[in-house]
Each structure stands twice: as C-alpha cells, then as structure tokens.
C-alpha cells in the first residue's frame, strides 16, 4: 500500500504529546501535578478499552489519573452527586464522563453538571457557546480539535476551502463546522454540514476540497464521491462482521479506504489517523485546565 499521501495521526499525536509532556513537567515543578478523573458507569467493553488507553497515556505524560466506576443501574442523582464532589476536588483538574451512559441517565444533564473549568471533553454548554462565538477561552471537544491539528500540522490550507462534513453530531460534526468557519487563522473555510436528510450527499462530497466523514456508516464514502486531490479525514469507527477475522468482526471507518486512497490528495488511515489525536488533545486540555486552576496563563507553558 502506497503511503505517500497518508496523514500520519500517530506521528502528529506524538508531537503534541511531547509538547504537553513538557508543559506537565513545568506544572509539576510549580507544585501543580495535573489530575484527570475518568467516570465510567457500567462495564461497556468499548468504554473500558477507551478509558484504559487514556489512562496509559496519562501515565506516560505525567498526568495523575484515576477512574471512578459506578454500577450499570446507578441512578442519575448518584452520578450527579459524584460529579459535584469532583467539581469541588482541587486535585481533579479535568473530569471526563465516558459515554455512552445507561438509558436511565440523561447525558446532556451530566455534561452540563461538570464544571466548565474542568470540562476537558468540551461538552459543557458554556464551552460549546464559547466555541461558536470564537472565544478561545473555553475547551474544544477533543476529536474535532484533533482533526483541526491534523490539518494545521500537515500544512493543509483551510482559508477559502470548500469543506464538507458528513454528520451533524454534537461530538464531532457541529463543533468541527464551528471551528472551520471562524474568522481566524487556520479556519475561514466554506463549510457544508451534511446529514441523514441531506439530498444528494455524493454531489456535495464531490465539491469538497476537504471531506470529513463522521456519520457512523461503515465505508460510506466511495471513490466516485471524492474530488481528485481532495483531503479526506475519516473519523468513523464501525464494527462489521468479518468471518476471516479472529473475533469474527473488524473495525472500519466511514471511508472505503482502499478505493478512496488512490483518488485523494491526502487521507487519514483508520486506525492510525484521528484516534490518536483525540487522546492527545484530551491530554493537552488537561494540562491547560491545571494551569488555569492555579491562575497561570496556559500560554506561558508553551515557553517550556
């Protein structure tokens, strides 16, 4: 497989993690070891894996993390009680409530209960509003922030570009659109947000200079939907049946990688593209939250 047009998310995540590690060292020298608390309700296998990966990265970079695990049948009020305690805990600079949550719990209510100053996932309504207003003082959701860094650090121009985003979710699609349409450096794009009710999605895709697939449909984007030379970012994570695989299934993205790679100018692999960036941006947000908690200007950490 040719790799000259791949956007290497692992390599770029390593760059960001090294920058974050230096910031964490500076914080620890000043007596503020960054702390991140994961909250998991139930034993969803995917959630356990995701939290485990994040914990390992915390340990590698010097973030002090712990995980609070509640039973699957936990009432919403008990989870809210835990979040209130974490909001008041000065050692917990960041709080991440792992989704999905069981049906008896309202996710929106939980995300809104986390202190916006500890909301390293960027889901609190105050942080969402700051993003829409172009206020850089809030936290940006980790996956779209990671995609943005992939574009920036790969030298890909967004100003004036036609960007098509597939998926209007609150975690990726909407914040991604908000990031790229800002009147700001590394933004200034013309953004089209497609979704399940959009007509002729393929025609929209063929206009895109940058196509970001985040709709959760396995291998939806085919080669004939991509403008030759376009940048293709695959955010999707989908499990499909595969009798030849060890466990009878395998993970694929929203892009038919084998078909699209020869057409694309640049493309993210999956895995190895967006996934590592999401974790890297979570670590960066946590370091920033720790700096803010002690009254430091997070920008000063960049000098270390």
Q: How confident is the model at residue 246 (pLDDT cuts 50, 70, 90)?
A: confident
Q: Which residue has the tokens 């485990």?
A: 52
Active site residues: 54, 98, 121
Taking 80 as the threshold, does the pLDDT of residue 2 lie above it? no
Q: Where are the domains of the chain?
A: 31-116, 142-275
- 201 in Cβ contact with 223 (< 8 Å): no
Residue 19 CB contacts under 8 Å (≥ 6 apart), including other chains: 284, 302
* DSSP, res 223: G
- In tens, the pLDDT along 51-60 reads 999 999 999 9
Q: Tell me what the mean pLDDT of segment 238-265 comes to.
A: 92
What pTM, to 2 d.p., does this model score? 0.95
Taking 80 as the threshold, does the pLDDT of residue 225 lie above it? yes
Give me the CATH topology for the region 31-116.
Rossmann fold (3.40.50)
- In tens, the pLDDT along 83-96 reads 999 999 999 999 99
For residue 257, which of 276, 235, 278 has the smallest C-alpha distance? Answer: 235
For residue 290, which of 83, 102, 44, 62 has the smallest C-alpha distance? Answer: 62
Q: What's the mean per-residue pLDDT of the chain?
A: 95
- In tens, the pLDDT along 143-178 reads 999 999 999 999 999 999 999 999 999 999 999 999
- In tens, the pLDDT along 177-196 reads 999 999 999 999 999 999 99
- 260 in Cβ contact with 226 (< 8 Å): yes
% of the chain at pLDDT higher than 90:
88
CA distances from 291 to 32, 139, 171, 298, 302 (A): 8, 13, 25, 6, 11
Q: What's the CATH class of domain 142-275?
A: alpha beta
% of the chain at pLDDT higher than 70:
97
Q: What is the pLDDT of residue 1?
A: 42
Q: What is the pLDDT of residue 302?
A: 60
Q: Tell me what the mean pLDDT of segment 74-80 comes to.
A: 98
Taking 90 as the threshold, does the pLDDT of residue 249 lie above it? no
Strands 238-241 vs 249-252: parallel, antiparallel or unpaired: antiparallel
Residue 43 CB contacts under 8 Å (≥ 6 apart), including other chains: 72
Q: How confident is the model at residue 250 (pLDDT cuts 50, 70, 90)?
A: confident
Domains 31-116 and 142-275 alike in fold: yes
- In tens, the pLDDT along 4-39 reads 999 999 999 999 999 999 999 999 999 999 999 999
Taking 90 as the threshold, does the pLDDT of residue 135 lie above it? yes
Q: What is the pLDDT of residue 46?
A: 85
């Amino acid at each position: 497989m040719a790799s000259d047009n791949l956007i290497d998310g692992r390599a770029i995540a390593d760059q960001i993690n090294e920058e974050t590690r230096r910031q964490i060292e500076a914080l620890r020298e000043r007596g503020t070891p960054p702390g991140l608390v994961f909250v998991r309700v139930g034993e969803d296998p995917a959630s356990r894996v995701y939290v485990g990966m994040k914990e390992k990265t915390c340990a590698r970079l010097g973030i002090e993390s712990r995980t609070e695990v509640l039973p699957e049948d936990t009432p919403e009020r008990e989870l809210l009680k835990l979040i209130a305690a974490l909001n008041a805990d000065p050692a917990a600079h960041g709080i991440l409530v792992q989704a999905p949550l069981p049906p008896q719990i309202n996710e929106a209510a939980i995300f809104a209960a986390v202190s916006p100053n500890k909301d390293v996932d960027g889901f609190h309504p105050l942080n969402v509003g700051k993003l829409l207003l172009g206020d850089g003082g809030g936290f940006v959701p980790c996956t779209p922030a990671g995609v943005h860094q992939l574009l920036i650090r790969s030298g890909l121009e967004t100003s004036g570009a036609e960007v098509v985003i597939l998926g209007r979710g609150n975690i990726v699609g909407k914040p991604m659109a908000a990031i790229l349409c800002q009147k700001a450096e590394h933004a200034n794009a013309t953004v089209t947000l497609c979704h399940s009710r959009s007509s002729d999605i393929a025609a929209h895709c063929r206009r895109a200079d940058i196509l970001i697939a985040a709709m959760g449909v396995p291998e939806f984007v085919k080669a004939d939907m991509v403008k030759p030379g376009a940048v293709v970012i695959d955010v999707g994570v989908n499990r499909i049946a595969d009798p030849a695989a060890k466990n009878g299934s395998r993970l694929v993205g929203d892009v038919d990688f084998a078909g699209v790679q020869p057409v694309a100018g640049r493309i993210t692999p999956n895995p190895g593209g967006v996934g590592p960036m999401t974790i890297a941006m979570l670590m960066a947000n946590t370091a920033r939250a720790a700096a803010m908690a002690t009254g430091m200007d997070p920008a000063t950490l960049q000098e270390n």
